[in-house]
């Protein structure tokens, strides 16, 4: 079916981030938006819904609350609608169950009329006036586009030569781990996903693995830094300052801040250590565990017994081997340009890492009219910082995009004052004059 009248916005992909944008736009009268998703229904990371896993983010950082707390699509509204507000409060969750948040997202997706599931966007082009989306059901025209396709599971090069079903990415863990019972398993990756999978494999009963090697490139199994001043990295104030940095400085800053967004929850690490204590000192005959930090997996060879992992020990430089019948790749996710962008790829600006170059309002730099914008969500790790792939700022980002779309400040997105002064100053001319004056001082002149 062809959409005749151009939409104000067409969203490509319906994950949490485009879902947030759809929920925010629902509050603005007169905006014609539609979001397209090839899946038949909303389902948030179903392959990682292991028992008892929790969010690393506050439930208040939901789809809308940060900029629109009266929205009917908030997490609190979800609790009230399901008559569990008081139960939720009385449960005193230290961390919200991930399945509960997934249920909230699915509830919002079911309630929004602008979402179109089972409709894959195969190509995106521009005809000089409007964007043209080719879908499995026809053609759609839109003045603006929002890319919310998400990241792709990352798999090391050695995976290409492996055959069979006994190796898989952590994004499929919930579907595959039942086959790990009684097997020797290697879990590669020292982040939150690897930690959760390790705990699952070390469980009691017949479902437990025979043994688990937890292998991480990191020098130790390191906690997520969730202390107050580190959490300032997940605020609009910091993102605005970060975006003003030169690209090279942004790259190095993101690398330094890795554990602020990609460490293991302290509660999960404590639970792992307690489980290891139980297995070592109390239980008999339980699964064996080896924790192997600071190891780089150089290669994996397939043999009659399963897989032989070749590793370099970064602590002492030695070469080590591990034999496993199953490999779980908790190796994270990587960004790549969506396939549907192929017709427009020559018109879009790409940074040194292969990502889209984004303006402060999350619009892509391209050679088309300024009134026709391509917004990109979860594509700005280098342009907007480590908060970009996280849930923390999705409501604020959606509000920024909504304001840019309608050309007026419907939502208040101006960063509040921060206790931390990140930048040297806001007046660039004054900064330049101060630098010249400083360098003219006698102690800074060449001898």
CB-based contacts of 430: which residues, under 8 Å, 6+ apart? none
Does 211 score more than 90 pLDDT? yes
* Crossing angle of helices 266-281 and 192-201, rounded to 10°: 30
Q: What is the pLDDT of residues 283-304, one digit of tens each?
A: 988 999 999 999 999 999 999 9
The answer to whether residue 365 scores a pLDDT higher than 50 is yes
pLDDT digits (tens, 9 = 90+) for 372-419: 999 999 999 999 999 999 999 999 999 999 999 999 999 999 998 899
Sequence-separated (6 or more) residues with CB below 8 Å from residue 83? none
Report residue 339's pLDDT band, with 50, 70 and 90 as the boundaries.
very high
Predicted confidence (pLDDT) per residue in 233-249, tens digit: 999 999 999 999 999 99
Is 141 a residue whose pLDDT tops 90? yes
- HSE-CB at 52 with a 13 A cutoff on CA atoms is 9
For the chain, give the percent of residues with pLDDT over 70.
94
Residue 314 gets which letter from DSSP? T
* Distance, CA of 139 to chain centre: 30
**pLDDT digit string (tens) for 150-176?**
899 999 999 999 999 999 999 999 999
* Count of CB atoms situated within 10 Å of the CB of 106: 16
Cα–Cα distance, 37 to 121 (Å, whole number)? 8
In this prediction, residue 446 has a pLDDT band, given cuts at 50, 70 and 90, of very low
Q: What is the pLDDT of residues 306-323, one digit of tens each?
A: 999 999 999 999 999 999
pLDDT (0 to 100) of residue 390: 95
pLDDT band at residue 429 under the 50/70/90 scheme: very low
DSSP annotation of 56: S
**How confident is the model over 181-191, as a mean pLDDT?**
97
Residue 4 reports pLDDT greater than 80? no
């Amino acid at each position: 079916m062809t959409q005749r009248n151009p939409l104000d916005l067409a969203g490509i992909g319906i994950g949490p981030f485009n879902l947030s944008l759809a929920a925010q736009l629902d509050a603005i009268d007169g905006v014609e938006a539609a979001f397209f998703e090839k899946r038949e229904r909303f389902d948030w990371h179903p392959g990682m819904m292991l028992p008892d896993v929790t969010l690393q983010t506050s439930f208040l950082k939901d789809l809308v609350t940060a900029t629109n707390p009266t929205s009917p699509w908030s997490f609190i509204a979800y609790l009230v609608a399901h008559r569990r507000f008081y139960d939720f409060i009385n449960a005193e969750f230290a961390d919200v169950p991930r399945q509960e948040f997934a249920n909230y997202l699915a509830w919002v997706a079911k309630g929004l009329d602008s979402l179109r599931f089972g409709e894959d966007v195969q190509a995106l082009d521009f005809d000089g006036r409007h964007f043209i989306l080719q879908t499995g059901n026809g053609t759609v025209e839109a003045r603006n586009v929002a890319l919310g396709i998400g990241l792709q599971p990352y798999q090391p090069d050695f995976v290409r030569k492996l055959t069979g079903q006994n190796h898989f990415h952590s994004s499929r863990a919930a579907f595959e781990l039942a086959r790990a019972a009684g097997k020797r398993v290697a879990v590669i990756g020292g982040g939150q996903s690897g930690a959760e999978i390790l705990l699952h494999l070390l469980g009691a009963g017949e479902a437990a693995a025979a043994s688990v090697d937890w292998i991480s490139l990191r020098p130790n199994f390191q906690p997520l830094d969730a202390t107050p001043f580190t959490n300032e990295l997940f605020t609009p104030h910091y993102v605005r300052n970060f975006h003003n940095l030169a690209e090279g400085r942004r790259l190095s800053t993101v690398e330094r801040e890795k554990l602020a967004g990609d460490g293991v929850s302290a509660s999960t690490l404590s639970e792992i250590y307690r489980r290891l204590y139980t297995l070592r000192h109390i239980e008999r005959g339980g699964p064996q565990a080896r924790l192997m930090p600071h190891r780089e997996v150089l290669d994996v060879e397939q043999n009659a017994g399963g897989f032989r992992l070749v590793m370099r020990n970064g602590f002492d430089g030695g070469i080590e081997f591990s034999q496993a019948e199953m490999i779980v790749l908790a190796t994270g996710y990587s960004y790549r340009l969506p396939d549907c962008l192929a017709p427009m790829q020559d018109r879009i600006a790409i940074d040194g890492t292969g990502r889209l170059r984004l303006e402060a309002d999350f619009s892509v730099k391209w050679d088309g009219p300024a009134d026709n914008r391509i917004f990109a969500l979860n594509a700005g790790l280098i342009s907007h910082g480590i908060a970009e792939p996280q849930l923390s700022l999705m409501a604020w980002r959606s509000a920024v995009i909504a304001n840019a779309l309608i050309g007026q400040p419907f939502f208040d997105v101006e960063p509040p004052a921060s206790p931390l002064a990140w930048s040297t100053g806001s007046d660039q001319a004054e900064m330049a004059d101060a630098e010249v004056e400083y360098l003219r001082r006698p102690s800074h002149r060449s001898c």
